[in-house]
Amino acid sequence: MPCRKRCGDQWWHGKIKDCGYRITAGREAIIETLSSTHDHLSAEDVYARIHDRFPNVGLTTIYRTLDMLVNAGLVFKFDFGDGKARYELTEGPKGAHHHHHLVCTGCNRVIDYTDFIDDEVELLRRTEKGLSDKYRFRIDNHLIQFYGTCTECLAK
């Protein structure tokens, strides 16, 4: 039986209120779903995971909400090349958990990695500075993905 009461403010309430958005049960469910996994969920995936407890949250709302969350900077939208968009929280209750991706072109498996991030971040900072100066571009975030073949697919 789902809790429909506002059981105290959540860590993300401020962030979306600041953008002028309202807090609704659907949004609560969607963010909760995203924050309870490390998977890279599609809109349909989110729908499937929510539908049991919130049968009255439609797919349209999922799309709209995810879009809104991307706008508010709470969610990052990816494309791994399989025709559907994937979504991931940019941060959790405990703060950001920044990572990059290793994508298998054989089976579409995606590995999050945080190793080597330190060196990368250092370089990225310099690159961002150089790029934004040269092209007069305000850089908000970046996407780094390595494509290749995973162990399982190599075995075939």
Partner DNA sequence: TCCTTAATGGGAACTATTTTCAATAATACC
Partner DNA sequence: GGTATTATTGAAAATAGTTCCCATTAAGGA
| Contacting positions for DNA (CB under 7 A) | 17, 20-27, 42-44, 56-61, 63-65, 67-68, 83-85
Query: Is the Cβ of residue 19 or residue 121 nearer to DNA in the bound state?
Result: 19
Closest by alpha carbon to 120, among 143, 151, 148, 92? 143
What 83-89 contacts at long range (C-beta under 8 Å, 24+ apart), as own/partner pairs, is 84/42, 84/43, 84/44, 85/42, 85/43, 86/40, 86/41, 86/42, 87/34, 87/40, 87/41, 87/42, 87/43, 87/46, 88/34, 88/40, 88/41, 89/31, 89/34, 89/35
Query: Which parts of 105-144 interact with a copy of itself (CB under 8 A)?
Result: 105, 111, 113, 115-116, 119-120, 123, 126-128, 130-132, 134-144
Of residues 14, 81, 106, 130, which one binds Zn ion by CB under 5 A?
A: 106
Query: Which position among 79, 88, 89, 108 is part of the footprint of a copy of itself (CB under 8 A)?
Result: 79
Q: Is 111 in the site for Zn ion (CB under 5 A)?
A: no
Task: Give the interface segment with a copy of itself, choosing from 24-32, 40-48, 50-58, 102-110 (CB under 8 A).
Answer: 102-110
Q: Which residues bind Zn ion (CB under 5 A)?
A: 104, 106-107, 109, 112, 150, 153
